[in-house]
Amino acid sequence: MDRKFIEKLGLSLPRLGYGCMRFPVKDDKIDFEYARKLINYAYENGINYFDTAYNYHGGESETFLGKVLTEYKRESYFLTSKLPVWKVKEEGDAEKLFNEQLRKCNTKYFDFYLLHSLHKESIETVEKFNLYDFILKKKMEGKIKYIGFSFHDNNEVLQKFAAAHKWDFIQLQINYWDWVENDAKSLYETLENLNIPCFVMEPVRGGFLASFAPHAMKRFTDFHPDKSIASWALRWVASLPNVALILSGMSTMEQLKDNIDTFTDIEPITDEEQKVIDEVIEDLREINPIPCTGCRYCMDCEYGVDIPGVFGIYNDYKRSENKDMAKRNYFTFMSEKRQGGNCQKCLECMQKCPQHIDIPLELEKIHKEMLALKTP
């Protein structure tokens, strides 16, 4: 496993971190023995960065790590968790949540700690309850070593919030698809300009960039017959100079071994390989059942529906035909409020869409199709 020295933090991190939101499951619970084998194998092969959060696996991920990581010396690995900002409703909540997380993770401190999944609205909660001051205080007390936040909104919001406080790192969704399709490039450049290390989540976009339309995948396998489709996405992200760490949520030993292989003596993407990636992006663009460009003119929906988010998940599903990924992205990572089923058909968004998409109708159709995926 390659490592990278992060000058701003003064430490060396593995290039690949273990995202702890997609462990194998059995009977709706983490498959303890299999997941433990994965953690042990990862650790023994140089992955000593573990990224969990309050809500991963319905709260089970933190408890699981609290049990399995005790096999190792605490200072030999990095443990990261995140404050569920959406659960902070009154003064004192952040303290209670933080203490609960320490207890569940069986640790006295977190190496890295983030305000989880920030966007315009949740930033209002951060400011209202002074959550930046809260995590800074924990850092002063030695209960956190490095503070940051993960982010899901546009560049204007990021620029303002990133510059408003002093951050050790920021976690963004970066991959070759979002780079061009969802302006991840601007987000990345904002961190570069502010000299803040970028930690990357979803480098394979929830599995989409690991398996998609066969004719597009063929371009990759023709070029590198012995390399996985996911390895292209991981190497692409690793080629960005301000990327300090890349997270991947690995569910099987096969994925874990393949990723370790990718991050051992990793080579940056060449110009020739970039041309192949550009062709794949073009192929995938042509599969576009909902012509949503992600411009967000329709937002915000008064009822909280994440219109471009729903359309993005649906389009990814159609490009990949990956049902598990679609179910996970729609039902696990998207609250009910943000799903298509919450559309109240007020029609407010309709006239704002430059693509003239019949938004309520499409949301209804997609929601039905997603529900059907749940029935065996």
Distance CA 48, CA 171 (A): 18
Tell me the two tokens of residue 275: 């041309």
Q: What's at 296, amino acid-wise?
A: R
Q: What's at 345, amino acid-wise?
A: K
- As measured in angstroms, the least distance from the Cβ of 299 to ligand SF4 is 7
Among 163, 164, 295, 361, binds ligand SF4 (CB under 6 A): 295
Q: Is 361 one of the binding residues for ligand SF4 (CB under 6 A)?
A: no
**β-bridge mates for residue 50, sequence order:** 18, 79
Q: Is 334 one of the binding residues for ligand SF4 (CB under 6 A)?
A: no
Nearer to ligand SF4, 237 or 359 (CB): 359
Among 37, 139, 165, 296, binds ligand SF4 (CB under 6 A): 296
Distance CA 161, CA 85 (A): 15
CB 114 within 8 A of CB 144: no
Distance CA 261, CA 256 (A): 9
Tell me how far apart the terminal alpha carbons of the chain are, to the nearest angstrom. Answer: 39
Among 215, 345, 368, 374, binds ligand SF4 (CB under 6 A): 345
Q: Is 366 one of the binding residues for ligand SF4 (CB under 6 A)?
A: no
# residues near ligand SF4 by CB under 6 A: 28
Stretch in the footprint of ligand SF4 (CB under 6 A) among 179-187, 277-285, 330-338, 354-362: 354-362
Distance CA 209, CA 206 (A): 8
Residue tagged 């006295």 (tokens): 108
Q: Is 99 one of the binding residues for ligand SF4 (CB under 6 A)?
A: no
Tell me the two tokens of residue 376: 């065996």
Q: Is 25 one of the binding residues for ligand SF4 (CB under 6 A)?
A: no
Nearer to ligand SF4, 256 or 363 (CB): 363
Signed CA dihedral, 341, 344, 350, 353: sign only: negative
CB count in 10 Å sphere of residue 294: 15
Nearer to ligand SF4, 57 or 205 (CB): 205
Cα distances (Å, whole numbers) of residue 221 to 206, 214, 229, 252, 285:
21, 10, 8, 22, 19
Among 46, 289, 308, 341, binds ligand SF4 (CB under 6 A): 308
Cα distances (Å, whole numbers) of residue 164 to 84, 87, 123, 147, 158:
20, 23, 11, 14, 10
Stretch in the footprint of ligand SF4 (CB under 6 A) among 56-64, 195-203, 263-271, 307-315: 307-315
Q: Is 349 one of the binding residues for ligand SF4 (CB under 6 A)?
A: yes
Stretch in the footprint of ligand SF4 (CB under 6 A) among 40-48, 62-70, 181-189, 358-366: 358-366
Stretch in the footprint of ligand SF4 (CB under 6 A) among 71-79, 100-108, 156-164, 343-351: 343-351
Nearer to ligand SF4, 249 or 309 (CB): 309
CB 176 within 8 A of CB 277: yes
- As measured in angstroms, the least distance from the Cβ of 285 to ligand SF4 is 14
Stretch in the footprint of ligand SF4 (CB under 6 A) among 158-166, 191-199, 298-306, 327-335: 298-306
Q: Is 307 one of the binding residues for ligand SF4 (CB under 6 A)?
A: yes
CB 287 within 8 A of CB 318: yes
Nearer to ligand SF4, 27 or 336 (CB): 336
Distance CA 5, CA 27 (A): 41
Tell me the two tokens of residue 37: 């084998």
Among 359, 366, 367, 370, binds ligand SF4 (CB under 6 A): 359
Q: What's at 109, amino acid-wise?
A: Y
Nearer to ligand SF4, 106 or 186 (CB): 186
**Would you tell me which residues interact with ligand SF4 (CB under 6 A)?**
292-298, 301-303, 305, 307-308, 311, 343-349, 352-353, 355, 357, 359-360, 363
